[in-house]
Structure 1
Amino acid sequence: MPRDLAPAAERAPALNARYRHHGATAVLERALRDAEVGRTAMVSSFGAESVALLHLVAMVDRHTPVLFIDTEMLFAETLTYQQEIAERMRLSDLRILRPAEADKRGWDPDGTLHLTDPDSCCAFRKTGPLQEALGSFDAWITGRKRYQSGRRATLDFFEPDGAARLKINPLAHWTPQDVQDYMVENRLPRHPLVAQGYPSIGCAPCTSRVAEGEDQRSGRWRGRAKDECGIHFEGGKPSRAKTG
């Protein structure tokens, strides 16, 4: 644990009770200053709806560390959008995370692991670099929302992330219309792929267009029993998903 704080399982319920009646901006303002939350970073994919939370964080404290994971399999449009938004929001502590060259050689030398074992691909390209980067933080801010999928339907503002760290979900209670209204009211630029039928954007090989009426995340890992990029860890290292 980076600092002498109570376990995350104790801090999360207390913080949720304290901030139960607060909105997203108030949660951010207080969380970034609350000693019980600790040192906090934001993690952003710079995806379809990311600009709303990035703008909120920049308005509260543009010096907040922002971690962006470049899996090296992202859409070119995402990389360009990331640069434009970071400059526009004047983010002063943007940290770009990438998979280690040794991991790429060992796990995915020909760049095709996503076709046979997407969990392991997410493990070394995304989750591994993120866990390493989060090692000096007590909490991290996410853009997850209750409406995005079934397993997110009960999200609170604060939740444990392992024994020591917290996740902060300031937009947990926002509706799709809340996000759109915020973007319009603040004249925020949209990710260019949204207009092309991508309401949820991840790595290019594992993201497809979404038809009208489909769930917005149905284009992520389409056809697979997978809807999140998180994996199990063994000894702090990515663990290959069992196959066969």
Structure 2
Amino acid sequence: MPAKIPSHYPLDQEVNETESGYASASSSEASLPEVVFTKAHLQFLNRQLQFLEPQDVLRWCITTLPNLYQTTAFGLTGLAITDMLSKLNVPRPQVVDLIFLDTLHHFKETLALVDRVRQRYPNLNVHVYKPLGAETEEEFAQKYGERLWEANDERYDWLAKVEPAQRAYRELKVDAVLTGRRRSQGGKRGDLDVLEIDEAGLIKVNPLANWSFDQVRQYIKDNNVPYNELLDKGYKSVGDYHSTKPVKEGEDERSGRWQGQAKTECGIHNPRSKYAQFLAEMERKRQEEALAQALENVQVTAADA
């Protein structure tokens, strides 16, 4: 079947059929034509795109894909993409806006970098999305619980990253995103294609999929691109402060993320089925607790009578 890209995304709640960081692909209100790729066409495009330089992939994206955004946590690869975009001479002027998920648990160095990037690229528009109902780490803890990433890491990922991503895609009517994922980062990214379509119908483009960490770092150096100061302190991949550590020489680039845990992704790039199971389990527990409470109330009432 063809893979379809919806013109916009409907509202999704935390405990419904939504399964990942991307909203449902269906919409009865869609009025714009859908972007359609057959499986054969997608394979053909990947065969062509994998031999192009990242700048050429980006030029193709800008002139081909509607409602294109860059999702970024301001890692090295994302910064290289941002710099490349700023230097493209494309047939029609278009600045690709950024989407930044502020989990409220970033390092202070990461937040300082966001300001430096804004200063370096004044024409850049950064859309910041935070967890619902919270503007600070303290508010997040009060609303959802202290150290939630330890008590329930799946729920933390949903609240801090997945739901805000859904909201961003829905509100901005996103059809396609540029990501900073690369094959050399290892784990589930080892067989990454340049062009993907997730189960919700979102186009995801990985322009630097073929590049190594050293290639990205050299680009940053050669072009004097601002970067996270933590990279000079042994970090290679920087996420939340509570789940990111420096890496040793020779270790995988993302080995400093979620050390001691089986996970390698925060949920935004995980299969939808994982979150379907997670949300269904949450709803099942809620219903069981409600039923148990109702039975207890009945027993108390009967005893009083």
Q: How does the TM-score come out when normalised to structure 1?
A: 0.87
In the TM superposition, what is the alpha-carbon distance from 1:159 to its structure 2 partner?
0.5
Task: Out of 215-224 and 16-25, give the one that drifted further.
Answer: 16-25
- In the alignment, is the contact (CA less than 8 A) between 1:145 and 1:172 conserved in 2? yes
Q: How many residues align?
A: 240
Q: Which amino acid aligns with 2:191?
A: T
Aligned-residue CA RMSD in angstroms? 2.8
Equivalent of residue 66 in structure 1, options 93, 98, 101: 98
CA distance in 2 between partners of 1:43 and 1:86 (Å)? 15
Aligned ranges 1:222-241 → 2 under 5 Å? 222-230=259-267, 231=270, 239-240=278-279
Matched, 1:112 2:115: no
- In the alignment, is the contact (CA less than 8 A) between 1:197 and 1:210 conserved in 2? yes
2:54 corresponds in structure 1 to: 24
Matched, 1:89 2:121: yes
- In the alignment, is the contact (CA less than 8 A) between 1:12 and 1:166 conserved in 2? no
Aligned ranges 1:192-203 → 2 under 5 Å? 192-203=229-240
Unaligned runs of 5+ residues in structure 1 are none
Q: How does the TM-score come out when normalised to structure 2?
A: 0.71
Q: Identity of counterpart residues, as a percentage? A: 29
In the TM superposition, what is the alpha-carbon distance from 1:125 to its structure 2 partner?
0.6
Computing the radius of gyration from Cα coordinates, the structure with the larger value is 2
In the TM superposition, what is the alpha-carbon distance from 1:40 to its structure 2 partner?
0.7
In the TM superposition, what is the alpha-carbon distance from 1:47 to its structure 2 partner?
2.5
In the TM superposition, what is the alpha-carbon distance from 1:71 to its structure 2 partner?
0.3
Equivalent of residue 213 in structure 1, options 250, 257, 263: 250
In the TM superposition, what is the alpha-carbon distance from 1:20 to its structure 2 partner?
3.9
Unaligned runs of 5+ residues in structure 2 are 1-5, 8-31, 283-305
CA distance in 2 between partners of 1:224 and 1:110 (Å)? 21
Q: Which amino acid aligns with 1:125?
A: A
CA distance in 2 between partners of 1:110 and 1:204 (Å)? 17
SS of 2:99's equivalent?
strand
CA distance in 2 between partners of 1:107 and 1:241 (Å)? 25
SS of 1:42's equivalent?
strand
2:33 corresponds in structure 1 to: 4
Matched, 1:169 2:206: yes
- In the alignment, is the contact (CA less than 8 A) between 1:74 and 1:204 conserved in 2? yes
CA distance in 2 between partners of 1:81 and 1:241 (Å)? 38
Q: Which has the higher helix share?
A: 2
CA distance in 2 between partners of 1:63 and 1:193 (Å)? 28
CA distance in 2 between partners of 1:105 and 1:81 (Å)? 22
CA distance in 2 between partners of 1:119 and 1:107 (Å)? 18
- Shift in alpha-carbon separation, 1:125–1:72, aligned structure 2, 3 A: same
SS of 1:30's equivalent?
helix
- Shift in alpha-carbon separation, 1:9–1:116, aligned structure 2, 3 A: farther
